[in-house]
Copies of this chain bind each other. A is one copy, B any other.
Amino acid sequence: MSKKNYLFHGDFVTARPEPGELTVYENAYALVRDGVLEEITLIKPSVGDDVIEVDWKGKLIIPAFSDVHLHAVQYVTTGLGYDKELLPWLTDYTFPEEARFAGRDYAARVFADLVYDLWSCGTLHSSIFSSINTDATVLLAEKLVGAGLSAYVGKVNMDRNGGIDLEETTEESIRETLRYLDLMAPFESSGVKPILTPRFAPSCTPELMRWLGDLSVKRKLPVQSHANENLDEIEWVKSLFPDSRDYMSVYHDFDLLPERGTVMAHCIYNTDEELEMMRERDILVAHCPASNANIASGIMPSTYMIDKGIRIGLGSDIGGGNRLFMGYHMSSAMKHSRLRWALTDRSSRIISFAEAFWMGTFAGGSFFGKTGALIPDYSFDALVIDDGRLSRYRPLDVLERLQRFIFVGDDRDIVARYRGGEFLPEPNVMVK
């Protein structure tokens, strides 16, 4: 289906490649050709008959959200077990739940809801952990394609420390990873792609890590994993990989940090050498503030890392994090930065609203191609916000309206979603 051309009218706000700066175009016009933004102008341009006009006058139009770290198979247990820390939470709640996804019916029901809710929340791009089960992973990819969403979907690799029901042998893990890559190939053109997903260093033997690293290099495959989330976890990694300098080096030593092709979740407790490694390889850090609070992990030093030039997106980290709406995570990132300042170092810098919005749109979006900002030459992936219920009392400026949507609003306020310029209809959630 060939793309159409559109002229959108509304109040636009966008982050830019540099954090800390938002641009507003009030009562403006965005010309989109073949799915790509050509320009935004304050004066209505004269366009030909090949351009369809779409009038969202008085509505906010913002870049679509990107959620760069979540676990699809924890959607049911989201909100449960937050009386525990990471490691007992994993063994008591998370691993037993993930084992249920060996059953196709269960997986189909949960994934249908998750994909619907991602759409509903305006999260048009996401980097997702599935389970070790290949068929469930492919089913999730199918549902994302069906909804028109873009995503990386990872079959989890886990050949140790998963418990009886959630472990593969190394040989199974290798065989299933290759099968998963074959089954994912047909989705590539739709924007749903595979990503190598060693769960975290303690879940994978060195043999499996070596094989995955070689595969990443050979096939130029991206990688997602976890690092430096919890102090006990870091000690555990040290004892499992005594030859690696630190946690990040474990992945590096196995060639699992492809340049500009890695999402690393959490990264709370980093050495300066690890930060330098992140910057140098242009790793996308998935900052997951809600999860890091729920299971008592800590607060990532976001401004310190931004100021070092590290790219930071936001992750809902469902089910460690408890809500999908990325506005919740932008506001959580701001709150936690302020708490870190108040509790540990009042000479440090707190993140601004503009930086939090940048994380959840531009920075996260950068993992999915030219998206995440309403700037020329970028894919027009956008949300239309009817903030009428939040701004009817007196005139607010466009930036104030955006702040109210992020802090006070939710998915109810999103009235349209566009990907590559095309309207994304409500997904069909009927389970086949």
A403 proximity list for chain B (CB < 8 A): 79-80, 82
Cβ contact of A394, chosen from B106, B299, B410, cutoff 8 A: B106
Looking at A106, A296, A344, the one whose CB has the most chain B CB atoms below 10 A away is A296
Number of interface residues of A (CB under 8 A): 46
Q: Give the contacts of A40-81 with B (CB-CB under 8 A).
A: 76, 78-80
Binds B, one of A166-174, A257-265, A287-295: A287-295
A410 to B338, CA, bound (A): 25
Q: Is A210 an interface residue (CB 8 A)?
A: no
Q: Is A225 an interface residue (CB 8 A)?
A: no
Taking a contact as CB atoms under 8 Å apart, the answer to whether A350 and B394 are in contact is no
A344 to B394, CA, bound (A): 42
Q: Is A185 an interface residue (CB 8 A)?
A: no
Binds B, one of A30-38, A122-130, A328-336: A328-336
A338-358 vs B, Cβ < 8 Å mask (1 yes, 0 no)? 111111100000101100000
Taking a contact as CB atoms under 8 Å apart, the answer to whether A100 and B407 are in contact is no
Taking a contact as CB atoms under 8 Å apart, the answer to whether B294 and A338 are in contact is yes
Q: A290-B335, A299-B342 are in contact. List 5 more A-B contacts (CB 8 A).
A: A79-B404, A82-B338, A110-B393, A294-B331, A339-B343
Chain A residues close to B by CB (< 8 Å): 76, 78-80, 82-83, 100, 106, 109-110, 290, 293-299, 322-323, 331, 334-336, 338-344, 350, 352-353, 390, 392-394, 396, 400, 403-404, 406-408, 410
